[in-house]
Structure formats: C-alpha cells, structure tokens
Structure 1
Amino acid sequence: MRTVTIVGASLAGLYAARELRAQGFDGRLVIVGAEPHHPYDRPPLSKDFLLGRADENRLALADPEETAALDAEWLLGVRARGLDTRGRTVLLGDGGTVSTDGVVIATGAAARRLPGDSLAGVHTLRTLDDARALRADLTRGPRRVVVIGGGFIGAETASSCARLGHAVTVVEAAPLPLVPQLGARMAAVCAALHRRGGVELVTGTGVAALRGTATVTGVDLTDGRTLPADVVIVGIGAVPHTSWLTGSALALHDGVLCDDGCVTALPQVVAVGDVARAGGTRAEHWTSATEQPRVAVTNLLAGRTLTTARPVPYFWSDQYGCRIQFAGRYREGDTVHVTEGEIADDGAPGASGFLARYERDGRTVAVLGVDRPRAFLRARRALQRTEGRPDERRRVAPAVL
C-alpha cells in the first residue's frame, strides 16, 4: 500500500492520520477536507467559543509542528464527489482526482435542516463557520432566541445563549428532552436544568414553519402557537455525509456500513467517526471518533479484518454549569437508581450532583454522573470491565480496492 487517502479533515480524520504514521505507514498520505480549516475541536463551538472565552487558535487539534510531522498532502476546501473503487480513485469536486490504494472515510455528518431555514437569523451549529455566524448574530444586543431541538447541541447552545443574557425558548417535539439517550426519569432532570437556567422549555409540540420574509421573525408551532424570534437555532440532529459515495460498491444506510472493525464491504476502505455505522451502530460522539481509527487503520494496513472492538459508549455534555457524563447502553425498561448525591426539590441536580446507575436483569448496564467526575470515572471503569467486549481476532480473506 503506497498511497492512503483520508476523506474528511476533522477529528476522526486527524486521528486516522496519526494512527497511520504511528503504525508504520510511511507512504503518501493525502487528506481531503471540505472545509478550508485544518482539524479543529467541535465541542467548544456551542460553549466556550460561543461565549467568547475561546478564540479560534484554541480550537486547533494539532499544532503546526505535528501537522508538519504527519508529512501529509492537505487538500482543504475541496469536497469529494465520488469514489471509483474499480479505478482506485477518489474524485474531487474541483475536477481533480487522487489515485489511492486505501481509503479512510471520515466525512462526518451535516446538520439536519428545516424548510425555510435560509432566512437571515436562522442558524445551525455544526462547523466553525456556523459558530462564527451565530456568535456575530448574538452580539447585536439582546435577542429573542428560539432553539429547535432539545438534544445535546440544542441544550448546550441554549445554555450559552441564556448565559449571554438573551431570552431563550427551547422547543422539543418529545415530552422531554434527551429521552432516547437517558430515559424519562433522568430526562426530567435535564428539563429541570433548563428551567433553573431561566430558559423556557416547550415540549410535546413540533415546528410547523418559520416566519419571516428576508429575516426570521417567529416560529409557528404545530399546536397553533407562534413564538417571536430574532434568532433561531436548529438543532434537530445530523445526516451522515454519504451522498458522494452513491454508486460506489459500498453499502449505505444512515452511514457507511462496516463491521466491528470499521471495515466496509471492501477491506481497503474503512470508515470512522460520525459517518461510520460500525457493527450496526452509528455513534456521533467525540470518543468514537478518537477510538475507532486505531482499529480501522490496523485492519486497513492488513487488508482484512484482523481486530474488532465494541467499546462501551461514552459521552458528556456541559449545560447550565453542570457536567453531564453518561456511559453504557440505555434501553427502555431499564430501572434507574440514584446511588450517590441527590436530585433537588426543583427536579434538577442537588448542590453536589449525583451518580445514577441503570440496571437490567440485575446488572448495571449504564451510569450517569452529574458533577461527580471521580465517582463516574470509577463506575465507568467498572462498567467497561463487565460490559465492554474485548478485541476479537479473526481472519477474513483479503480483497483489493
């Protein structure tokens, strides 16, 4: 394998490049990125960057010395438009091509959009350019902000907007925010955090339309109400960047389908990060983007699936001054017990936070910590020992791109 091309220049793509060099690949390394920026950290965009506490230099994931040490060709501001598996070629949006022996797909996902969201004042928050535009809009004096979607991005952005002094309303179609991830009881705790933070939470109703001609003026809800708005933030999930792979030999279904080793139907094509549906699951979390490349690169260089991994899922979120950490796999019907700390009378976390355990068939399958980092770390490690599946080794017949 003389040339490897990484399509996607964000977190997962950078970690894949690091792994390639760390695992001994000394050939030509090409990194294609749709954005004009070198890899940057996305989690601060909804928090410290939006609040003005972190400038763009602090977002960089690699310093110039490390970037140079990777000895890669960076093709930034260029989208991939196709993968010719027969011709071993990545087709680029500017008309160029890259001949390659191996491919790492790390194209991530794009923010899901609403009809009419081209109005001025309507934002998504996925990229650095998105965050720049939103931050500029929020500096124009007190704004009436409506956040559509009570997931992690929506909650973090609402928290930051409230902290900046804006009047904020969160609209969530479900009865409670984060029910699929945390279950009803713990989702109610997150709902209480919104109220404690001075944010109005509207649940159980969807968005019918956005109002305005050139600039947004309001949000029409499906229950007939209209919320006045100067700024609207759409946080209703993400769609994996796979359209450029249409017509290739790869299987696509809400991501690029891979085995537990991140290997696609073609062993010399692997996928990592938000775009990868590895072992039947697509995880849009920072930890997946940093852990998957090690296994994926090992298998890519071998030309077959040598090692697989299915770590215990983990994510965190910062909302209203609280650090929320979750590890494990929640399923509807699991019982939840607060084992340390307490939930306050207003339904939000107590002053010292809490640790909760999710149980199924007599065993702990997930843990949630709010402002209990040490206790959560211990519980997470114990969960990894019991619920994590160690790397498995198996032989698969090699194939060529």
Structure 2
Amino acid sequence: MAGWAVAEAVRSLDEASPMLMVTACNGDRYHKPELSVAISKGVDAAKIVKKTGSSAAAELNLSLLPKTFVLNIDSRLKQIRTTRGAFTYDKLVFATGATPFMPDVLPPQYCWRINHLTGFDGLQKALAKGPQRVVIVGGGMIGTELAEDISRAGHRVTIIDRAEYPLCGLLPEQAGRRLAEALHSQGIRYCGGRHVSGAARAEDGSYRLSSIGTAGIAYLDVADQIVVAAGLKTDPRLPERAGLDFHPASGVRVHPDTLQTSVADIYALGDCIDLNGKACRFIAPLQAQADIIAAEIMGQTHAPYAHSEPVVRLKTKSLSVVVSGSPDRDAAWAVQKNSAEELCLQQMQQRQVSAEIRISRP
C-alpha cells in the first residue's frame, strides 16, 4: 500500500519520469486491513485483490519487477542489486513494511503469519477443510481481530498472550478486561499471563503448544492451526546495507518534515519507519506521507509533513473499541461513563482532552 501510494503521488505531479518498483510479491493491490476480517465472510485471496500488479503498473506508467528480491543497496553509487540485475537510481523510496515477529521457541513452519496476502491465502484454505482448533499467539489488535473472525467462521479459538488482558499496549486494564469479556462471550478463550515455550507436531498432524504462566505453571494447548500475531519488526538487512540510521525496535529513522532518511535521496514511509522515535504502523498516514515524498522527489516546495495520531478502531463485531488522541501509557485515565453498554475513559493535558477510549456494544 505504501509503495503504490508513492507511485500515484509521483504520477500526480509528473506523468513521464521513469519509475521502477521492485517487490518480492507479485505486486497486486489490495486493502491490507481486510485480511483480519475476511475469513468469516468466506472471502478468498482472489476476491480481496482489487487490481493486479501488472495492470496497476500499466496505469501508472511504471516498470514493475514482481517476485524480485533486493540483495544490496550501494547508496554511494546509487545502485540497487536484485535477483534480476542491478539498477541505478536518482531517488530511492523504502516502502518495505514490517514483518511479523516470530518467537525463537516456535518453529516457523508450524505457524501462520497473516501480514500479507500469501499468508492469508494459506490459512484460509487450511480452515476451509472444516471446524478446527486454532491457537493465536498474541492478543494485540491483529490477534484479537483474527480471533473473532476465525471464531465466527465456526472454529474454536484460543488466544495466548503474556499480558493479563488483550490490547495491553493500548488499553488500560479496565478497558482491556471488558474486551476480554466480549471475546469470552463469543466462545474465544483468552489465556493471559503466559509466555509460549515451544511447539511440537503430533502423529495425527495436530500441534502441542506449550506455555508457562506467571506462577511457573506449565500449560499445553492442542491446535490444528497456530497463528502468530505477536507484533511487527522491520527487517534490518537492507537499511543497514544502505547505511541508513536504523533502530531495531522501531525501524528506519526519517526526518519528521521530509521523511528523508539519514542518507541523501533515500526516503521511507509506512510500517518500516521510525518517526520521532516511534514506529509508525498505521494505514491512515500513508497518503500524506506519500504526498510529501513525491514533492521531495519532484523538487517541489511543500509544507513540512505534519503527523497526527490516527484514530484506532478495532475491527471486532462483539464490541466497538475506538481510541483517539495520543494515549500516554504512564498517565491515569479518568472515567467519564461506565455502564453495561458503554465505557468512556479520558486523559487530560493542560486542561485539554489528550486521549480518549470509547468502548460500546454495537
């Protein structure tokens, strides 16, 4: 999504400048957030794709190298080396996204990671065989959305997370507990306070997932499918080879006004960037980021990029969860409303509402 957004923004300013997109997938265009809510709707990968990569490339008059891997970037010579040859550039844009974090104790071949269309397609086909036991490792936004979606498709779902309640990194305990109750009402088990310690495959083809609780108690869960949704990380390989300022936890560091990296003529946007010391992993800012980079590439004057925290909406049907503003994990939340139907919490800074959480039944 980030790469295509830049391509469109550049073409809106210039119709003819040569542009090359290199991607490890086939470049098809689709709305990524749909991946966590499509299984219960019976939507397959083919229906999610809005436009093939080849047709999108033709419309934007750019050269597309699908299923191609970048091996090295020489920022001094302004050259990238790929599995299909070497190419020089005047301006380079990193739109590489982020990859799902995989705990070292879990064999990758046993686990699904739903961060791209290929992973979704594999899981959707596996679950189409009939009702199954699914264990999701990770109770954040993606894990929670997937849990409800898979449960609504007729499968038995368990979430395992180190935190005592879901969305611990975003919600205070009072709100997280309410979400856990909503998941439970859907038949979803939330097993908090556990960290996964390993997985093995049984003779019948199922998996034995082991975990340890905070009190040292060992647990064993049986699963037909394991899904890992334990957060994202930016692959350091290419940023480091290009000599970019990079932080392992948050990604490629960019200038907050221009989105240029620490190396001249190289820009970055989307899930892979560190903006003001934080990872920026939301869809909403992509268009504004793409517009700034396009103006930079075309040498046009522009106002500085002005980042604003997007409104976060959890795509669950059992409970509406909306987070707005800039939540401070260390600040207290004031209860504005607390009923069976709605919970509203606010944080204040300088007598102004700085963050708000609204949880309600649809």
- Give your verdict on TM over 0.5: yes
Q: Is the 8 A contact 1:119 1:216 kept in 2?
A: no
- Is it true that 1:129 corresponds to 2:100 in the alignment? no
- Is it true that 1:43 corresponds to 2:33 in the alignment? yes
Give unpaired runs (5+ residues) of structure 1: 1-10, 345-349, 374-401
Give unpaired runs (5+ residues) of structure 2: none
Q: After superposition, what is the alpha-carbon deviation per residue over 1:59-91, rounded to whole angstroms, capped at 9, x for unaligned?
A: 326898764331011111112122111111121
Distance, in Å, in 1 between the alignment partners of 2:208 and 2:353 is: 45
Match of 2:139 among 140, 150, 155: 150
> Which moves more between the two structures, 122-131 or 32-41?
32-41
For 1:390, the equivalent position in structure 2 comes to none
Match of 2:353 among 356, 364, 369: 364
1:8-27 equivalent positions in 2, closer than 5 A? 11-24=1-14, 26-27=16-17
For 2:253, the equivalent position in structure 1 comes to 257
1:350-361 equivalent positions in 2, closer than 5 A? 350=341, 353=342, 355-361=344-350
Percent identity, aligned pairs only? Answer: 21
Distance, in Å, in 2 between the alignment partners of 1:159 and 1:110 is: 22
Superposed displacement of residue 337, structure 1: 4.2
Distance, in Å, in 1 between the alignment partners of 2:20 and 2:192 is: 46
For 1:331, the equivalent position in structure 2 comes to 328
1:149-298 equivalent positions in 2, closer than 5 A? 149-212=138-201, 215-222=205-212, 223-254=217-248, 255-260=251-256, 261-298=258-295
Going from structure 1 to structure 2, the CA distance change for 1:23 and 1:133 (only over 3 Å counts) comes to same
Superposed displacement of residue 50, structure 1: 5.4
Q: Is the 8 A contact 1:267 1:305 kept in 2?
A: no
For 2:47, the equivalent position in structure 1 comes to 57
- Is it true that 1:28 corresponds to 2:25 in the alignment? no
Look up the equivalent residue of 1:369 and give its one-letter code: R
Superposed displacement of residue 319, structure 1: 1.6
SS in 1 for 2:353: strand
Superposed displacement of residue 269, structure 1: 0.8
Superposed displacement of residue 359, structure 1: 2.3
SS in 2 for 1:299: helix
For 1:104, the equivalent position in structure 2 comes to 93
Q: Is the 8 A contact 2:200 2:209 kept in 1?
A: yes
Going from structure 1 to structure 2, the CA distance change for 1:13 and 1:371 (only over 3 Å counts) comes to farther
Distance, in Å, in 2 between the alignment partners of 1:304 and 1:257 is: 22
Q: Is the 8 A contact 1:270 1:300 kept in 2?
A: no
For 1:312, the equivalent position in structure 2 comes to 309
Match of 1:72 among 62, 86, 90: 62
SS in 2 for 1:308: coil
Distance, in Å, in 2 between the alignment partners of 1:304 and 1:87 is: 27
Superposed displacement of residue 155, structure 1: 0.5
- RMSD over aligned CA atoms reads 2.6
Superposed displacement of residue 335, structure 1: 3.5
Length-normalised TM-score, structure 1: 0.80
For 2:299, the equivalent position in structure 1 comes to 302
Q: Is the 8 A contact 2:140 2:167 kept in 1?
A: yes
Distance, in Å, in 2 between the alignment partners of 1:117 and 1:42 is: 25
SS in 1 for 2:151: helix
Length-normalised TM-score, structure 2: 0.88
Q: Is the 8 A contact 2:39 2:153 kept in 1?
A: no
Going from structure 1 to structure 2, the CA distance change for 1:200 and 1:31 (only over 3 Å counts) comes to same
Superposed displacement of residue 19, structure 1: 0.8
Distance, in Å, in 1 between the alignment partners of 2:52 and 2:172 is: 37
Going from structure 1 to structure 2, the CA distance change for 1:196 and 1:279 (only over 3 Å counts) comes to same
Going from structure 1 to structure 2, the CA distance change for 1:304 and 1:50 (only over 3 Å counts) comes to farther
Match of 2:107 among 110, 117, 121: 117
Superposed displacement of residue 325, structure 1: 2.6
Distance, in Å, in 2 between the alignment partners of 1:207 and 1:355 is: 33
Q: Is the 8 A contact 1:298 1:307 kept in 2?
A: no
